[in-house]
């Protein structure tokens, strides 16, 4: 079975589009999804930006919300412009790292994304994250403890450094083998991409 | 007949993709193309950038050339990474403004774009632009004189100001009525977009 990595951030609106549709799309292409949560903030700061370019560049920012509404309509996704952008998502990302190889990761990520981009909720709130985990039938307390352990905090920093080392400059970013695809607009191309077999 | 405006720059690699395919695509959607050449440099400078973000941001720049090669393969377009990027295109843009409403505009734009992005030629050279016009069976001398007249130089500056006033921050950008679509990835969406009829 082929694999696709999705490098994503819960604060990133274009990650929302991909997180919501990647599992269904990957199934059609018979591709397995590998979930790679990382922090976009340090990447942006390394580019000299204090926050999202959609905040720093007013014209682009204005456009992005029109574009998001149209893209969500096209893909049949719920959409409500968040009143806070970009939202901090440190805790939910740490939880995603704990669950990255677990069967619940897809449903968890879709729920967190929906809370941010369709229900305008503060997703970095531990009570809300606990609620989400409990609704999924998971032991919220244990998962939150593991998520906030020093070892896991360090792992998320390391994963963010790995993102940067691989040339990632935004989210979502996909890898199929060593081939990188940036942006929700390249999800279908990435899924269709075939890695050359070693000869 | 519905209309789509394409705001483009001959120095812009993603404009290359759209310029090459818009007339054939628009025909399928029964949409008329309105050509809107403008200068990307002043737009970038107003954002505080001295040149293209693909030069200023190294990781994004590295990615863009991989992406371009893949996109050109996908669309069946010739591709050779220009040895100079972004190329100055002041004269060919001035000529495009002269010809914007003429029947030769599409063929002219495709030829200039091919010279830049498939043949790695210096498109701001008056002899080369004259050659292109002559090959199209046009009176090169007269068109170049009109292109370099003070009135036409001013028109191109005004068109660039108009781009900025409409919220354009990159190229290509499409308008269908008042609805703006940014990037080659939105060309199909723009062509499919229906302007609401006035009630």
Q: What pLDDT sits at residue A199?
A: 46
> Can you tell me the mean pLDDT for B169-187?
97
* B173-176 sheet: strands from edge to edge: B31-37, B2-8, B173-176, B179-182
Q: What pLDDT sits at residue B99?
A: 98
Backbone angles phi, psi at B33, to 5 degrees: -95, 130
Asked whether the beta carbons of residue A189 and residue B70 sit closer than 8 angstroms, the reply is yes
Helix (H) or strand (E) holding B81: none
Instruction: Give the position of tokens 């050339």.
Output: B65
Within an 8 Å CB–CB cutoff, is residue A73 touching chain B?
no
| Interface mutation vs chain A, best among B18, B63, B186, B196, most A CBs within 10 Å | B63
Asked whether the beta carbons of residue B63 and residue A186 sit closer than 8 angstroms, the reply is no
pTM: 0.94
Helix (H) or strand (E) holding A8: strand A2-8
pLDDT for residue B23 is more than 90: yes
Asked whether the beta carbons of residue A189 and residue B59 sit closer than 8 angstroms, the reply is no
Q: How many residues does chain A have?
A: 199
Q: Which residues of A78-111 are buried (b: 16+ CB within 10 A; e: fewer)?
A: ebeebeebbbebbbbbbbbbbbbeeeebbebbbb
Which is it for the CA torsion B79, B83, B84, B90, positive or negative?
A: negative
| Interface mutation vs chain B, best among A160, A162, A169, most B CBs within 10 Å | A169
Could you read off the pLDDT of A167-176 as tens digits, one per residue? 999 999 999 9
Rounded-to-10 torsion of CA A118, A34, A174, A97: 60
Which B-chain residues 148-167 have CB contacts (< 8 A) with chain A? 164, 167
Asked whether the beta carbons of residue A63 and residue B180 sit closer than 8 angstroms, the reply is yes
In angstroms, the CA B11 to CA B9 distance is 5
- Mean per-residue pLDDT of chain B: 95
ipTM above 0.90, yes or no: yes
When pLDDT is cut at 50, 70 and 90, the band that residue A48 belongs to is: confident
* A173-176 sheet: strands from edge to edge: A31-37, A2-8, A173-176, A179-182
- Mean per-residue pLDDT of chain A: 95
pLDDT for residue A197 is more than 70: no
Q: What is the percentage of chain A residues whose pLDDT exceeds 90?
A: 90
Instruction: Give the residue from B143, B71, B72, B142 showing the smallest Cα distance to B105.
Output: B143
In angstroms, the CA B129 to CA B185 distance is 29
Residue A167 to chain B, least CA–CA distance (Å): 6
Instruction: Give the position of tokens 């302007």.
Output: B195
Within an 8 Å CB–CB cutoff, is residue B49 touching chain A?
no
A2-192 CATH fold = Glutaredoxin (3.40.30)
**Scanning every residue of chain A, which has its alpha carbon at the shortest distance from the alpha carbon of B54?**
A169
Could you read off the pLDDT of B117-172 as tens digits, one per residue? 999 999 999 999 999 999 999 999 999 999 999 999 999 999 999 999 999 999 99
Q: What is the percentage of chain B residues whose pLDDT exceeds 90?
A: 90
> Can you tell me the mean pLDDT for A16-20?
98
* Tokens standing for residue A104: 């619940």
**Which residue among B57, B67, B74 places its CB closest to the CB of A169?**
B57
| Interface mutation vs chain A, best among B7, B59, B172, B194, most A CBs within 10 Å | B59
Write down the domain spans for chain B.
Answer: 2-192
CB A166 within 8 A of CB A180: yes
Asked whether the beta carbons of residue B185 and residue A189 sit closer than 8 angstroms, the reply is no
Could you read off the pLDDT of B97-129 as tens digits, one per residue? 999 999 999 999 999 999 999 999 999 999 999
Q: Is A33 exposed, middle or buried (0-12, 13-18, 19+ CB in 10 A)?
A: buried
> Can you tell me the mean pLDDT for A29-36?
97
Task: Identify the residue with better confidence: A1 or A45.
Answer: A45
Residues of A in contact with B185 (CB under 8 A): 183, 185
Could you read off the pLDDT of B38-90 as tens digits, one per residue? 999 999 999 888 888 888 889 999 999 999 999 999 999 999 999 999 999 99
Could you read off the pLDDT of A173-196 as tens digits, one per residue? 999 999 999 999 999 999 999 876
Task: Identify the residue with better confidence: A54 or B102.
Answer: B102
Instruction: Give the residue from A80, A35, A62 showing the smallest Cα distance to A174.
Output: A35
DSSP three-state, residue A74: helix
Listed in sequence order, the residues at least 6 apart from B197 whose beta carbon sits closer than 8 Å to its beta carbon are none
**Which residue among A60, A168, A185 places its CB closest to the CB of B185?**
A185
**Which residue among A47, A59, A70 places its CB closest to the CB of B189?**
A70
The DSSP secondary structure of A108-171, one letter per residue, reads HHHHHHHHHHTS---TT-HHHHHHHHHHTT--HHHHHHHHTSHHHHHHHHHHHHHHHHTT--SS
Listed in sequence order, the residues at least 6 apart from A36 whose beta carbon sits closer than 8 Å to its beta carbon are A5, A6, A7, A8, A100, A159, A163
> Can you tell me the mean pLDDT for A78-82?
98
When pLDDT is cut at 50, 70 and 90, the band that residue B183 belongs to is: very high
pLDDT for residue B197 is more than 70: no
Instruction: Give the residue from A142, A45, A125, A47 showing the smallest Cα distance to A84.
Output: A125
Q: What pLDDT sits at residue B199?
A: 46
């Amino acid at each position: 079975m082929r694999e696709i990595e999705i490098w994503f951030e819960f604060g990133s609106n274009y990650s929302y589009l991909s997180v919501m549709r990647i599992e269904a799309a990957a199934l059609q292409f018979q591709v397995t999804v590998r979930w790679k949560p990382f922090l976009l903030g340090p990447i942006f700061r390394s580019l000299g930006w204090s926050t999202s370019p959609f905040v720093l560049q007013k014209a682009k920012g204005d456009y992005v919300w029109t574009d998001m509404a149209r893209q969500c309509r096209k893909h049949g996704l719920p959409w409500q412009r968040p009143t806070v952008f970009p939202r901090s998502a440190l805790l939910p990302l740490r939880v995603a790292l704990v669950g990255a190889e677990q069967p619940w990761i897809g449903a968890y990520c879709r729920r967190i994304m929906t809370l941010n981009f369709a229900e305008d909720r503060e997703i970095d709130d531990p009570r809300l994250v606990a609620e989400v985990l409990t609704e999924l039938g998971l032991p919220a307390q244990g998962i939150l403890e593991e998520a906030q352990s020093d070892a896991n905090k360090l792992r998320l920093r390391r994963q963010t450094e790995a993102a940067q080392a691989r040339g990632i400059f935004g989210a979502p970013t996909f890898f199929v083998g060593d081939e990188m695809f940036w942006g929700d607009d390249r999800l279908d191309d990435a899924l269709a991409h075939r890695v050359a077999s070693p000869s």
